[in-house]
Structure 1
């Protein structure tokens, strides 16, 4: 199940509330353009500022809209183990195919604490779990040794690896039987060359067909085509991180006329100089 291009879908807002109609349109656009899986309520979906009710509602909409056409893997992580358990159990109840669970942020647990956090969630919620390692956001990293230990739990089956480290990916793949997906668009091709099976993508919000085609080409053994797409889209992928994600990707989607340009504080609009750089890149690529 965990292979190809999964989109970390943005959460559109309108006048401070979730824009449900636009959200459905974004989901349909992803499926139309070949995206292999949907990840609602992740970092790109501004999960940290969603209420518990909004989070659950977005999961429900994703499941009902997608309607089993592709897998839905809901972001259900929290720095509170009990909240993560609640959200993960809800994802199972709602009909999700899996749960993406970020390492506990702010608390900075030890490797033993990380293990117990994930083990507790896996025990309480019988759903396939994808670990999510993104130390730039959480302040801690899952070591390959901890990943290997967690992989022995039957329903912990994958990891979204966003540390940007080739060495990290090599050690994980070498030490255990767990599916690795890149958590960084620019590292999709390098990580897949080491054995990763795809990407949980930010850029797929903007160029879903290209991200899908890159991953699928590699999986099909057409390395030359995957490499060609990689170099074609890398300026767009890098532009999505000119400022903190999801500010650039939501700005791009707004420029494309797909969403209203709105975030939850403390996120805000881009600096004008960065906006101009972003606009130049996406205009050159033909997105606007």
Structure 2
């Protein structure tokens, strides 16, 4: 299974405090109609940190069932508790997801040796492709390219990385050390095009929640070698990249979808709605892009 192009880190719609299955299924269908290349349920953008285990499992299953094999489903399955990560990854496989997105353990701050041991333990128990998620801004740990190269050799399930350091030098070193067969995906919208320009396969995107067609077109152009078109789309999207992180993700993305009439805004504490001035800035960016 290849994970490439524009892959949406899906928000999770809520209604009255519960997962809104009807809205989620309709949202997934719209994403596919818009030409998206893959979907990630239960990532950070899906508010996985506030989902119960039962909700997490249900959201992944809803996504896989609605997609019906039309695009790859990469299920969020990581944890800072290795035993828990094994359980969630097993469930992703049981749900027939195409792969598991596994964040490096957060809060614990493991060493590089600890990171290898964590992923090796999961690999010994679950045979499903792993995309490792490196986001030091949320975890306080940076998975080094040298460590990732060791993991690739020792853990067959490790087939790629969502690289969210925002450091193109690190991305370049990952590709150098792990080879071009390793699936490197940007974890930051602004570095999607630069990552693909140096050998990456695509992006796991927040902005594609509300601009999937344009993000998919940008990735298609970049991967086809049409950098002129890709650059034009990248700069059209750039104001949306900034707007999507005007406050903590996924609040701006969910607010954008509310403004577009997709579903009502509802987030779980400790997330709260946008400050009024930021809501206006987001609306201005969406209007300029022709989305509202």
> Which bracket does the TM-score occupy, shorter chain normalised?
over 0.9
2:265 is aligned, of 261, 267, 275, to 261
1:275 is aligned, of 270, 276, 279, to 279
Q: How does 1:137-216 map to 2 (within 5 A)?
A: 137-152=138-153, 153-177=155-179, 178-216=182-220
Give the C-alpha shift of residue 139 in structure 1.
Answer: 1.1
SS at match of 1:151: helix
Give the C-alpha shift of residue 14 in structure 1.
Answer: 0.5
C-alpha distance in 1 between matches for 2:28 and 2:98:
16
SS at match of 1:181: strand
C-alpha distance in 2 between matches for 1:219 and 1:191:
11
Residue of structure 2 in register with 1:41 after alignment: 42
Give the C-alpha shift of residue 176 in structure 1.
Answer: 1.2
C-alpha distance in 2 between matches for 1:139 and 1:50:
22
Give the C-alpha shift of residue 31 in structure 1.
Answer: 0.5
Give the C-alpha shift of residue 179 in structure 1.
Answer: 1.3
Give the C-alpha shift of residue 143 in structure 1.
Answer: 0.7
Give the C-alpha shift of residue 128 in structure 1.
Answer: 0.3
The Cα offsets for residues 222-250 of structure 1, whole Å up to 9 and x where unpaired, read as 11111110011110111100111001000
Residue of structure 2 in register with 1:31 after alignment: 32
SS at match of 2:46: coil
Give the C-alpha shift of residue 79 in structure 1.
Answer: 0.7
SS at match of 1:95: coil
| More moved, 278-287 vs 92-101 | 278-287
C-alpha distance in 1 between matches for 2:31 and 2:201:
19
Unaligned runs of 5+ residues in structure 2 are: none
Give the C-alpha shift of residue 84 in structure 1.
Answer: 0.7
Residue of structure 2 in register with 1:114 after alignment: 115
Residue of structure 2 in register with 1:105 after alignment: 106
The Cα offsets for residues 17-49 of structure 1, whole Å up to 9 and x where unpaired, read as 000100001100111011111100000000000
The Cα offsets for residues 155-203 of structure 1, whole Å up to 9 and x where unpaired, read as 1001000000011101111111321000011111111111101000000
Residue of structure 2 in register with 1:74 after alignment: 75
Q: How does 1:1-16 map to 2 (within 5 A)?
A: 1-16=2-17
Give the C-alpha shift of residue 93 in structure 1.
Answer: 0.8
**Please, what TM-score do these two structures have when normalized by structure 1?**
0.99
Q: How much is the aligned-residue C-alpha RMSD, in angstroms?
A: 0.7
Residue of structure 1 in register with 2:225 after alignment: 221
SS at match of 2:45: coil
Q: How does 1:246-257 map to 2 (within 5 A)?
A: 246-257=250-261
SS at match of 1:23: helix
Alignment: residue pair count: 288
SS at match of 1:287: coil
**Please, what TM-score do these two structures have when normalized by structure 2?**
0.97
